[in-house]
Structure 1
Amino acid sequence: MNTSSVPLISPDQQAIEQELVETVVASFEKTPDPRLKQLMQALTKHLHNFAREVRLTEEEWNTGIEFLTAAGHITDDKRQEFILLSDVFGLSMQTIAINNQAHKNATEATVFGPFFVQNAPEIPIGGDIAGGANGQPCWVEGTVTDTEGRPLPGARIEVWEADEDGFYDVQYSNERVAGRAHLFSDENGNYAFWALTPTPYPIPHDGPVGKMLEAVGRSPMRASHLHFMVTAAEHRTLVTHIFVEGDPYIKAGDSVFGVKSSLIKRFVQQLPGTPTPDGRELTGTWARTRFDIVLAPTPDLM
């Protein structure tokens, strides 16, 4: 810690505080797992240095404990407030950046989000993930390849999104599955499905994270997006999403810092009566977009 940045703290007081840091750090010296030891000691140093830098009051410490307690209480099997907290601090994106190092032309990763659900239904290529959710139909197509341009047949593609009102299926009380599914790329690495044209929506802000954003004057809005998780043998799992070109929240600032320019795609509006790629009959407008996915090899194969 740069003690010169902490005014009016006597050398004796600084020595007392530093001794405590060193004592707590030393308490982890016998940790059998070297990585766990590194994590615990580094965390201890950063936590103590934060408290010393800002001269944390007991009232502020207690408020922080109450905040974390509230986050725990609101978390359940359908809502993860701690992931949301990590997201709005940019920690999720930083962790993703650290663990998904740039490799050639591989598609960039972004935040996982709190609304992924295991065991989403399987659909065939050309199927519909909407499941009755409200929104404008949108045709999504593309390929899955490796960084050398070779197609990856049989890649598993998980997709999920909110409806036009900004809610995921798990935020409703009727237990329906909508706006999510998985499919597999064909023998040429191609995939296609019907989804909903993404719309902007706020992250859940009725809990402690929302109150924190309000207190600091930050918007809870997320730019319009469609989630993907793509897996293929001997390739790094990709968690990402694509954004709608022209969405005002791209410029204004995504609340979880998830936007990357390479992931902004054109969602081309189609007039009523425009023939669809699969012959589906639609009476209103619809949209289409293309997202070609490039997977990096697993680290041991790079």
Structure 2
Amino acid sequence: MRNLDETTITQAVIARHAKTTNRRLKTVMTSLVRHLHGFAREVDLTEAEWVAGIEFLTAVGHTCSPTRQEFILLSDTLGLSTLVAAQNHRKPVGCTEATVFGPFHVEGSPERPLGADVANGAEGEPCFVRGSIRGLAGEPVAGAVIEVWQADAKGLYDVQYEAFDEHRARATLRSAPDGGYHFLGIVATPYPIPHDGPVGQLLDALNRHPWRPAHLHFRISAPGYETLVTHVFRDGDPYLDSDAVFGVRSSLVADWVHHEGGPAPDGRMLDTPFSTLDFDFVLNPARKEG
């Protein structure tokens, strides 16, 4: 162990894991060491590049805050978030597909009744969203917890504003006895992910854009079903095929139907433009233990 070199160091580190009692930790760390060392050998990593990598990860950590998760952003832009989501949320045909969580979910968003204006003053064209929550066999899922959040017309989430004082374009609702849901939000628009930090600098260096196609976030949970984390994307968006975080699925692309005015889904007459979005979700039954 005293005369290690570039050909023997990997096995020496792995051997140190021999007494690890947590089998899963041992598996993960052994593989991590093997792949990290393999990466360094494959690219013939220089000391200067190693230092730059350490400095980059340090900068990512320093950029994190209670309202910004730069490490999730990094994971998203490297496609790792999508890979992990795909591996962990394989679903039968007919279920709504999962996609990335994103860095701007907030636990404990305000509960609103069905039909509420969840925009709560967020800038954007009004959009009436409606649909149903059902199980794979077609059964309605009553009382499902529906968390919804989105960026405003400026491409910002409520928590990104310095003067943040209350939640906007973000709420928690519960599906009706027939599984239906409806609320008033705003039209989704494309926006760039935060690119004023180290992840943005990396994208610039790679000649990649930071834009996400217009979308609405959902997290839906109900007893007896797997929790669904997904987006609904706006059809026709120019970034559907180059999403900066690789989150688009064809099955999650839907029409936002524009109306110049007239009768709205909630019975009101509007003399200003608005849109409607209809989207149904199908949940996968929870796996039985044992």
Into which bin does the TM-score normalised by the smaller protein fall?
A: over 0.9
Q: Aligned pair in 2 of structure 1 residues 260, 301: CA closer, same or farther (>3 Å)? A: farther
The one of 136, 150, 154 aligned to 1:147: 136
TM-score, normalised with respect to structure 1: 0.93
The offset of 1:279, in angstroms, is: 2.3
- Structure 2: how far apart are the matches of 1:97 and 1:62? 32
Question: Could you tell me which amino acid in structure 2 is paired with residue 84 of structure 1?
Answer: L
Find out whether 1:294 has 2:282 as its counterpart. yes
CA distance in structure 2 between the aligned counterparts of 1:127 and 1:281, rounded to whole angstroms? 17
Q: Which has the higher helix share?
A: 1
Aligned residue type for 1:117:
V
Give the match for residue 107 of structure 2. Answer: 118
CA distance in 1, matches of 2:18, 2:12: 10
1:106 to 88, 95, 106: 95
Matches within 5 A, 1:258-273: 258-272=247-261
Say how many residue pairs are matched.
Answer: 286
Structure 1 segment 8-23 matched on structure 2, within 5 A: 16-23=5-12
Distance 1:136 1:77 in 2: 29
Partner of 1:76: 65
1:46 aligns with 2:35: yes
SS at match of 2:201: helix
Which residue number in structure 1 is paired with residue 199 of structure 2?
209
**Partner SS state of residue 288, structure 1:** strand
- Kept in 1, the 8 Å contact 2:126–2:187? The answer is yes
Task: Name the CA distance, whole Å, in 1 between partners of 2:269 and 2:45.
Answer: 62
Contact 2:146 2:175 in 1 (8 A): yes
Opposite residue 122 of structure 2, the aligned amino acid is A
Shift of the alpha carbon at 1:150? 0.3
Question: For each residue in 1:33-66, what CA deviation from the matched residue of structure 2 results, as whole angstroms up to 9, or x when unmatched?
Answer: 1001100000000000000000000000000001
Residues 260 and 271 in structure 2, CA contact (< 8 A), matched pair in contact too? no
- Name the residue aligned to 1:138: 127
CA drift at 1:173? 1.3
Give the counterpart of 2:52 among 59, 63, 68: 63
Deviation at 1:22, TM superposition (A): 0.3
Using a 3 Å threshold, how does the CA distance of structure 1 residues 173 and 280 change in structure 2: closer, same or farther?
Answer: farther
Q: CA deviation at 1:174?
A: 1.6
- Following the alignment from structure 2 to structure 1, what is the Cα–Cα distance between the partners of residues 287 and 23? 22
1:32 CA drift (Å): 0.9
- 1:79 is paired with a residue whose SS is coil
Q: Distance in 2 between matches of 1:283 and 1:68?
A: 51
Among candidates 261, 265, 270, match of residue 277 of structure 1? 265
TM-score, length of structure 2 as denominator length: 0.96
Q: In the alignment, residue 137 of structure 2 is paired with which amino acid? A: E
Counterpart in the other structure of 1:7: none
Q: Distance in 2 between matches of 1:89 and 1:74?
A: 18
Q: Which residue number in structure 2 is paired with residue 4 of structure 1?
A: none
* Alpha-carbon shift at residue 18 of structure 1 (Å): 3.0
Specify the alignment match of 1:219 in structure 2: 209
Q: Indicate the larger mover: 255-264 or 24-33.
A: 24-33
Identical residues among aligned pairs (%): 50
1: CA distance, partners of 2:90 / 2:118: 31
Aligned with 1:185 (options 169, 172, 175): 175
CA contact (8 A) 2:219 2:228 kept: yes
1:198 pairs with 2:199: no
Q: CA deviation at 1:300?
A: 2.2
Pairwise CA RMSD of aligned residues?
1.3
The 5 Å alignment of 1:170-181 reads 170-175=159-164, 176-181=166-171
State the 1:281 CA deviation.
Answer: 4.5
SS in 2 for 1:249: coil
